[in-house]
């Protein structure tokens, strides 16, 4: 009996040693089975330190003394910079710098001091984090995952779901499966899309497979910051129909430096249905009890949001007929507001994101071909914008009459939920939004009939200031020639107003109610810049040149202006 017992112990010890031996061996194999072993080792050098103990869920210390520590930017040696241009052209961010940084790094806590003193109840909804990816790279994806795992309270994070939208990157296949299995077990699930879904359908797919009370979407190149999750969940617990967005911090695409963005913005939109940031209005600020309260925003950028999972689908999830990229963010924004919910920004929740100037994947959809954003936006305009869709088509005239697929199911959501009109949205949620042709004194082309020239942006980017120029009139066919005379007497476009600089020059610059932007359109046809008492004049001005301010002469033909439409 004694001998048999001893044999048993020897046997057990042998098994243990074998297991230990093989698990180490697997580790080494992993290192050498992928590309250049030293590269791989260098890359994963800090992974061990990032590993979570799954039984006790002990959060490891982020790497100390490592590149990129505390969110610092990373510089490359001359050697490492070789061929960087090619990398940037393909990835649109500095993958080399990212690969030098630990998968689990410290970043500055960018929250307002007030946030740190808020204590949230322990009893908050459980969460599934859904991250969709197409051709994203190893280090940013895993850094996203680690930041979520390590900075979310254990009892609130049910799972992280990675949806691979048919990536072409070898290491994001089996190797990622193995890695996640080994390091995270059941906490991280990987779903492989059966066909290329595009990010919109991929998000739906991930969320349909989620089991948490709340679904959080993140892009695959994010870093969740300290305390990011609790304020989102707390607000959803208070208000189930609120969709929440964290404040988006910046991770520099050139050097991976993490920096906080101040708050003071809401989401807006261009009538061309692109997203933009707009200043937070006094109306909203004064409704806040403290400066870190969640506050309403008309729209969102799209990538990062939290919603009650069941509520998200009750109001229609995402439009499964939208392709690849674009439009779904405005569609969900309009919809949640119009159908009785709200969209809110949460200053105390902060998540970094790498904004890339391009996409590492093709933007061609089956139906939208090269213009997926255009077709997706048609669908949203046709379903949600009522007559205001005219302002979208004003910018996208070539889309009029084009096929945008079947939207009956989407329109049925409006009926089923008895949603408000788009006018209600504009009046109640975004009263600051300038409507080009409503409540204005005049709008459309602004012509000088004799010269047959019209005011024209010349297609310049209107995010900054641009000159006030002219071009041959296009008979109302070009959005570049659409100007309005507002009831506040501004000569303006969607976001910019004509203002004088120096004695006779004019630029289009962001609108404010300063009297430098004040114009009067006289009965005699002149446009008088009120503060200088000078007139808009095309004398000696040719196509694509700037118009000037000149002393007013009521009968001078170069000072005669006619809008396409006048209010009755
Ligand atoms: C912004 C949003 C993004 C989405 C998009 C409009 C932020 C920070 N990001 O674009 O989430 O709302 O506007 O549609 O607000 N992907 C796929 N399949 C594809 C294409 C992309 O899975 O066919 C993934 C991609 O790998 C990434 C995510 O979708 O993880 C978002 O794509 P992006 O980062 O290229 O979009 P971004 O940040 O320019
Ligand atoms: Mn992104």
Q: How far apart are CA 212 and CA 309, in angstroms?
A: 7
Does 542 map to a domain?
A: yes
Does the CB atom of residue 331 touch ligand 1 within 6 A? no
Q: How far apart are CA 167 and CA 186, in angstroms?
A: 22
Alpha helix positions (H), 342-445:
372-384, 389-395, 408-416, 422-428
Q: How far apart are CA 473 and CA 455, in angstroms?
A: 8
Residue owning the nearest CA to atom 35 of ligand 1: 359
Task: Please tell me the predicted confidence (pLDDT) of residue 231.
Answer: 98
Does the CB atom of residue 324 touch ligand 1 within 6 A? yes
Q: How confident is the model at residue 48 (pLDDT cuts 50, 70, 90)?
A: very low
Tell me the HSE value of 488 on the side-chain side, using a 13 A CA sphere: 14
**352 near 72, Cβ under 8 Å?**
no
Q: How far apart are CA 416 and CA 315, in angstroms?
A: 9
Does 469 map to a domain?
A: yes
Task: Please tell me the predicted confidence (pLDDT) of residue 515.
Answer: 84
Copy the structure tokens of residue 49.
Answer: 């330190």
Q: Which residues contact 56 (CB under 8 A, 6 or more apart)?
A: none
Q: What is the pLDDT of residues 520-555, one digit of tens each?
A: 999 999 999 998 999 999 999 999 999 999 999 999
Task: Please tell me the predicted confidence (pLDDT) of residue 374.
Answer: 98
Task: Please tell me the predicted confidence (pLDDT) of residue 10.
Answer: 58
Average pLDDT, the chain: 91
Task: Please tell me the predicted confidence (pLDDT) of residue 503.
Answer: 82
Does the CB atom of residue 219 touch ligand 1 within 6 A? yes
Give the chain's radius of gyration (CA, Å).
28
Does 296 map to a domain?
A: no
Task: Please tell me the predicted confidence (pLDDT) of residue 30.
Answer: 30
Does 482 map to a domain?
A: yes
Task: Please tell me the predicted confidence (pLDDT) of residue 75.
Answer: 95
- The Å distance, Cα 222 to ligand 2 centre, comes to 8
Is residue 486 classed as helix, strand or coil in its secondary structure?
strand
Ligand 1: residue of 176, 219, 274 to mutate (most ligand atoms within 8 A of CB) is 219
| CATH code, domain with 525 | 2.80.10.50
Task: Please tell me the predicted confidence (pLDDT) of residue 55.
Answer: 56
Copy the structure tokens of residue 221.
Answer: 């190149």
Mean pLDDT across the stretch 335-343?
A: 98
Domain that holds residue 548: 440-566
Residue 100 reports pLDDT greater than 90:
yes
Task: Please tell me the predicted confidence (pLDDT) of residue 27.
Answer: 34
**567 near 559, Cβ under 8 Å?**
no
How many structural domains is the chain composed of? 2
Of 46, 51, 44, nearest to 149 (Cα)? 51
- What are the C-alpha distances in Å from 567 to residues 224, 366, 387, 477, 478? 51, 43, 18, 20, 21
Does the CB atom of residue 423 touch ligand 1 within 6 A? no
Which atom, in ligand 1's list, is nearest to the CA of 376? 14
Mean pLDDT across the stretch 43-48?
A: 46
Does 547 map to a domain?
A: yes
Does 105 map to a domain?
A: no
Q: What is the pLDDT of residues 343-395, one digit of tens each?
A: 999 999 999 999 999 999 999 999 988 899 999 999 999 999 999 999 999 99
Residue 19 reports pLDDT greater than 60:
no
Share of the chain above pLDDT 70, in %: 89
Ligand nearest, relative to CA of residue 199: 1
Task: Please tell me the predicted confidence (pLDDT) of residue 259.
Answer: 97
Per 3-state DSSP, the chain is made up of helix, strand and coil in percentages (nearest 5) of: 35, 25, 45
Task: Please tell me the predicted confidence (pLDDT) of residue 37.
Answer: 44
Q: How confident is the model at residue 46 (pLDDT cuts 50, 70, 90)?
A: very low
The per-residue b/e assignment along 60-90, b for 16 or more CB within 10 angstroms, e otherwise, is eebbeebbbbebbbbeeeeeeeeeeeebbee
Does 299 map to a domain?
A: no
- Helix pair 174-184, 138-151: axis angle to 10 deg: 20
Does 505 map to a domain?
A: yes
Residue 169 reports pLDDT greater than 80:
yes
- The Å distance, Cα 358 to ligand 2 centre, comes to 10
Phi and psi angles of residue 215, each rounded to the nearest 5 degrees, phi first: -110, 135
Q: What is the pLDDT of residues 440-453, one digit of tens each?
A: 999 999 999 999 99
The distance of Cα 27 from the centroid of its chain, to the nearest Å, equals 37
A 10 A CB-CB count for 180 gives 19
Compute the Cα dihedral for 364, 366, 370, 374 and give only its sign. negative
- The Å distance, Cα 348 to ligand 1 centre, comes to 23
Q: How far apart are CA 249 and CA 255, in angstroms?
A: 15
Q: Report the complex ipTM.
A: 0.99
Copy the structure tokens of residue 360.
Answer: 């590492």
Is residue 332 classed as helix, strand or coil in its secondary structure?
helix
Is residue 327 classed as helix, strand or coil in its secondary structure?
coil
Does the CB atom of residue 130 touch ligand 1 within 6 A? no
Residue 47 reports pLDDT greater than 80:
no
Least confident residue range of 36-50, 63-77, 165-179: 36-50
Beta strands 519-521; 527-529: pairing state: antiparallel
- The Å distance, Cα 216 to ligand 2 centre, comes to 15
- The Å distance, Cα 133 to ligand 2 centre, comes to 10
Q: How far apart are CA 474 and CA 333, in angstroms?
A: 34
Tell me the HSE value of 160 on the side-chain side, using a 13 A CA sphere: 28
Share of the chain above pLDDT 90, in %: 83
């Amino acid at each position: 009996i004694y001998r048999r017992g001893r044999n048993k112990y020897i046997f057990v010890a042998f098994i243990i040693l074998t297991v230990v031996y093989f698990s180490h061996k697997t580790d080494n194999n992993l290192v050498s089975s992928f590309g250049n072993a030293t590269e791989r080792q260098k890359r994963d050098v800090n992974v061990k330190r990032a590993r979570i103990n799954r039984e006790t869920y002990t959060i490891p210390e982020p790497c100390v003394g490592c590149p990129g520590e505390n969110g610092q930017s990373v510089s490359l040696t001359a050697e490492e910079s070789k061929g960087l241009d090619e990398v940037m052209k393909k990835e649109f961010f500095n993958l080399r710098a990212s690969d030098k940084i630990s998968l689990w790094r410290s970043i500055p806590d960018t929250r307002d001091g007030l946030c740190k003193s808020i204590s949230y109840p322990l009893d908050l909804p459980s969460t599934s984090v859904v991250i969709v990816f197409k051709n994203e790279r190893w280090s940013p994806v895993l850094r996203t995952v680690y930041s979520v795992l390590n900075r979310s309270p254990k009892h609130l994070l049910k799972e992280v779901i990675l949806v691979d939208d048919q990536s072409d990157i070898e290491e994001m296949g089996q190797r990622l499966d193995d890695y996640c299995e080994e390091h995270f077990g059941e906490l991280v699930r990987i779903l492989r899309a059966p066909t290329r879904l595009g990010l919109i359908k991929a998000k739906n797919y991930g969320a349909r497979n989620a089991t948490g009370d709340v679904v959080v979407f993140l892009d695959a190149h994010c870093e969740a910051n300290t305390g990011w999750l609790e304020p989102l969940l707390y607000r959803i617990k208070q208000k189930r129909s609120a969709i929440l967005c964290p404040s988006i911090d910046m991770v520099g695409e050139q050097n991976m430096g993490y920096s906080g963005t101040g708050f003071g913005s809401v989401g807006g939109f261009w009538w061309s249905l692109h997203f933009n940031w707009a200043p937070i209005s006094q109306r909203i600020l004064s409704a806040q009890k403290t400066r870190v309260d969640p506050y309403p925003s008309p729209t969102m950028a799209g990538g990062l949001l939290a919603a009650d999972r069941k509520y998200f689908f009750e109001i229609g999830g995402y439009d499964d007929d939208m392709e690849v990229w674009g439009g779904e963010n405005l569609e969900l924004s309009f919809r949640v507001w119009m159908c009785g919910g709200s969209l809110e920004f949460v200053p105390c929740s902060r998540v970094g994101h790498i904004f890339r100037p391009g996409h590492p994947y093709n933007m061609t959809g089956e139906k939208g071909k090269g213009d997926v954003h255009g077709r997706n936006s048609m669908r949203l305009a046709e379903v949600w914008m009522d007559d205001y869709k005219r302002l979208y088509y004003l910018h996208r005239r070539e889309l009029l009459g084009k096929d945008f697929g079947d939207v009956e199911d989407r329109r049925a959501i409006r009926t089923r939920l008895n949603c408000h009109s788009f006018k209600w949205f504009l009046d109640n949620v975004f009263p600051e939004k300038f409507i080009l042709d409503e409540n204005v004194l005049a709008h459309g082309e602004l012509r000088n009939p004799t010269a047959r020239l019209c005011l024209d942006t010349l297609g310049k980017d209107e995010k900054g200031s641009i000159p006030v120029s002219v071009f041959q009139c296009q008979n109302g066919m070009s959005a570049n020639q659409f100007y309005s005379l507002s009831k506040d007497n501004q000569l303006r476009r969607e976001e910019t107003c004509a203002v004088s600089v120096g004695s006779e020059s004019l630029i289009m610059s962001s609108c404010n109610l300063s009297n430098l932007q004040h114009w009067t359109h006289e009965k005699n046809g002149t446009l008088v810049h009120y503060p200088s008492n000078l007139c808009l004049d095309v004398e000696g001005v040719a196509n694509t040149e700037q118009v000037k301010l000149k002393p007013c002469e009521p009968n001078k033909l170069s000072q005669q202006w006619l809008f396409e439409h006048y209010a009755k």
